[in-house]
Structure 1
Amino acid sequence: MTKFRKSALAALVAVGVMGMAGAASAAVVGGGATLPEGLYGKANASTDANGQPYDDHGIGILHDGAGFNPYVGVGSGAGKRAFFNNNSDEFKWDHDDNPLTPDVLFYPTRVTVDYAGSDSLVSAAELGSYNNPSNANGRANFGALIQVPSVLTSVTVPFNVPGLPTLNLTSEQLAKIFGGEITRWDDSQLGLTNAPAEDIIVVHRGDESGTTEIFLRHLNAIDSGAVESVNKDFVAAIKPAEHPAATFLPAVGSAGVVTAVEATAYSIGYVSPDKVDFDDATVVASINGYLPTEVNVQAAVEDSPVPAGALVNNPLAWGISNANPSTGYPIVASTNLIFSQCYADSGDESKIRQFVGNHYDVNYTLNDQEIEEAGFVKLPAAWLNAVRDNFWASNSSLSIGNANVCNGKGRPQ
């Protein structure tokens, strides 16, 4: 039995590819970050793609009967491209659960992309392009861009080091390991008792990932010499070729990182909390003495201010990201959802509003168990209220589907 959790998102194989094209017009379409796919994307179906019964272990929070198609986990970069270019061809999946065969289009016939999930924050360039009046897939036709935090997440650090039953690293040590400056477990800079005289194998995401961006944002804030930039592409930020003494091993997706760490002695990686036993010190490293437990994650974001005043109108202000918190587990941020304000199809608009109204209600508890089971942490009440008041309440000019703003415009069916 593996000590790492197996991803529940083998459930994406629970829906036949050909069936999705026909179902798309009747349901909300989206995907993106793999970090929250276990929370969002559990397919609500009784058989898999081969017609065999399966246990879907309950349904994700975007599938609680509200009319959302299965969330397609392809990484934050591909998810944002799908949304901003309105191109469902970015949604590809491992239809036969075989990494050796090519992934296929989840939607063989293109459909409208209604939203995206992303751990990578919307950039100023992405917002500027969306707001450009000449952009047919932007604000002029679809209304204002809305980026909101969904849940809090940590980025955990799984390790597989024979001879080290637990591992406690400082943020500075972590930056030097992943920045290629510390390359051996017995390096004196780590000061590990009984450290093996072995090379460190750094397992990193080989695809564009918001998990990578969150992880590197913290390491860059700690040591900009070791980790010179922040990027959703690990290779672009770290440039492994410039560190010949270090051993870097790429893996695709959060599940791929877990599999690689588990299979590779003397390795260390980074991954979302739902893929590992995040509160088990024999599985994930403590950072600065903290494990990524709920209380330690909440402590790290206590000082993150809710947007107010002019910032309310700025989508870039709505992601929770504290690169170097003063207390708590230090690698913490929100995973986010990206919508347009306007939807031409009243059914899609109603389904999205239903989700937003429920998920951001401090008194709504149906999602709480799913959030906890997936290893994430519910947003603080102040953030829940702010999202609901600004993007759902009918008296807000920013609310999804506001008739005064959306008359005659919206993402098509």
Structure 2
Amino acid sequence: MSFRTTTKRILIVATLLSALTLTGLFAAACGEEEPSTTSTTAAPQTTTTAAQTTTTAAPTTSSTEPPLSASLSGAGATFPEPLYVEWIGEFQSLHPKVTINYQGIGSGGGIEQFSKLTVDFGASDAPMKDEEIAAAEAASGAKVLHIPTVFGAVTLAYNLPGVTELKLDPDTLAGIFLGEITKWNDAKLTALNPGVTLPDQPIQVVHRSDSSGTTSIFTGYLTKVNKTWAEKVGKGKEVPWPVGVGGQGNDGVAAVVKQQAGSIGYVELSYALEAGLSVAALRNQAGNFVTPSLASTSAAAQGAQFPEDLRFSVADSPNPEAYPICGATWILVYDQMKDPAKAAALKAFLTWALTEGTPIAEELGYAPLPEDLRAKALAKVEQISAK
């Protein structure tokens, strides 16, 4: 982890401790901890407008209770990986006898590892399908729980030297990724961007090469807004891409876009910020061109309906202030674990993340859960126990 990230974490912890002391919640924060991991360094958040949230204090741990002690493993989505790295580090500093190793291998890989019981928890930006849940529950003898952690924006990061602002609408975006719009100075693009000099240059599409929840969010949006895309490609963690080159993980796509002029790809917001990439404004359902930010991501979750199993989508929100390609990311757990120590540690970590971890999420550009959804997620966490 870089010195910059370490320093940022220290500042975050200092700020949290000051705030918690003033509000009388310091005792609650002392009951949690965060482990080390080998994941990517989290990107800085440059958005200055943040949605206002209320942080619920984590349960206080009695001084007579033994300290948490367990080694946990998890794997899955790269979409929230920068945040999970920070959460894990902070939690382990509070609970030195807990270690958590998280590997960002993509949502598809995370679901596979979770279903095979080779990790203690999975992570995915796409909810598990009914058949995936049935197979996992048959193998584990326990119930699968979907615990949403944050919302994030899937940005359209591009590399066009000299072009700092770009507007797209659903049809031009679909046309680019279908291979129907092949030049940056295509008439459809220039019509959306008056006053912007778009180059006579081929468009290089960059997509994910692995099974990806970020891909599921992106293709789910395109399937909803463009009939041709729905008929020819469809949605999923993996799709038959008509054009483009692949990158492994969000960081891989960001790296390809950064290296190749004329390229465009889809990545979670923090990866675009970390790579210093420009991101397009996308016309939303209300007709407004909106750039991805903490505020526009939070707006996408406002007014959404959340079913009992907490599997949902917020793509193409009708909110006039919402960025249209947003999604939640989930931690996947079983309601019954074989090891009581692991169950206690995982339960404590998730409770801490959903409460005390909120400021860290906002710092990195992830939108915290609305209060009604946070309450439902915490209720799911309470179901975790040992067999």
In structure 2, C-alpha distance between the alignment counterparts of 1:83 and 1:333, rounded to whole Å: 21
In structure 2, C-alpha distance between the alignment counterparts of 1:284 and 1:11, rounded to whole Å: 29
State whether structure 2 residue 102 is matched by structure 1 residue 71. yes
Unaligned runs of 5+ residues in structure 1 are 15-24, 45-58, 88-112, 241-247, 393-398
Q: What letter corresponds to residue 34 of structure 1 in structure 2?
A: T
Deviation at 1:146, TM superposition (A): 0.3
Deviation at 1:334, TM superposition (A): 0.4
Which residue in 2 is equivalent to 1:305?
Answer: 305
Q: What letter corresponds to residue 345 of structure 1 in structure 2?
A: D
Q: 1:27 to 1:170 in 2, by over 3 A?
A: same
**Alignment match of 2:316 (pick from 324, 328, 332):** 324
- The structure in which a higher percent of residues are strand is 2
State whether structure 2 residue 235 is matched by structure 1 residue 230. yes
Question: Please, what is the CA RMSD of the aligned residues?
Answer: 2.6
Q: 1:390 to 1:232 in 2, by over 3 A?
A: closer
Deviation at 1:83, TM superposition (A): 0.5
Which residue in 2 is equivalent to 1:47?
Answer: none
Which residue in 1 is equivalent to 2:295?
Answer: 295
Aligned partner of residue 273 in structure 2, secondary structure? coil
**Alignment match of 1:333 (pick from 327, 331, 334):** 327
Q: 1:331 to 1:190 in 2, by over 3 A?
A: same
Q: What letter corresponds to residue 224 of structure 2 in structure 1?
A: A
Alignment of 1:7-406 (within 5 A): 12=38, 26-41=70-85, 59=89, 65=95, 67-87=98-118, 113-131=119-137, 135=138, 137-138=139-140, 140=141, 143-191=142-190, 192=193, 193-227=196-230, 228-233=233-238, 236-240=239-243, 248-277=244-273, 283-288=278-283, 289-307=289-307, 312=308, 315=309, 318-327=310-319, 328-360=322-354, 364=355, 366-392=356-382, 399-401=383-385
Task: Give a deviation string over 1:312-349, Cα, whole Å, max 9, x none.
Answer: 2xx4xx13412221131000110111000001211111
Q: 1:168 to 1:263 in 2, by over 3 A?
A: same
In structure 1, C-alpha distance between the alignment counterparts of 2:110 and 2:116, rounded to whole Å: 10
The sequence identity of aligned pairs, in percent, is: 28
Deviation at 1:40, TM superposition (A): 1.1
Deviation at 1:26, TM superposition (A): 3.5
Unaligned runs of 5+ residues in structure 2 are 10-35, 41-68, 284-288
Task: Give a deviation string over 1:270-303, Cα, whole Å, max 9, x none.
Answer: 111111229x9x7111111111112211111212
Q: 1:224 to 1:323 in 2, by over 3 A?
A: farther
Task: Give a deviation string over 1:10-48, Cα, whole Å, max 9, x none.
Answer: 96179xxxxxxxxxx94111111111111113597xxxx
Deviation at 1:60, TM superposition (A): 5.2
Task: Give a deviation string over 1:153-200, Cα, whole Å, max 9, x none.
Answer: 110111111342211111221121112221111111112442211110
In structure 2, C-alpha distance between the alignment counterparts of 1:376 and 1:43, rounded to whole Å: 13
- TM-score, structure 1 length as denominator? 0.70
Residue correspondences, number: 311
In structure 2, C-alpha distance between the alignment counterparts of 1:276 and 1:155, rounded to whole Å: 10
Contact 2:70 2:345 in 1 (8 A): no
In structure 2, C-alpha distance between the alignment counterparts of 1:348 and 1:322, rounded to whole Å: 32
Contact 1:39 1:61 in 2 (8 A): no
Query: Which structure is higher in RCO with an 8 Å CA cutoff and minimum separation 6?
Result: 2
Aligned partner of residue 389 in structure 1, secondary structure? helix
- TM-score, structure 2 length as denominator? 0.74
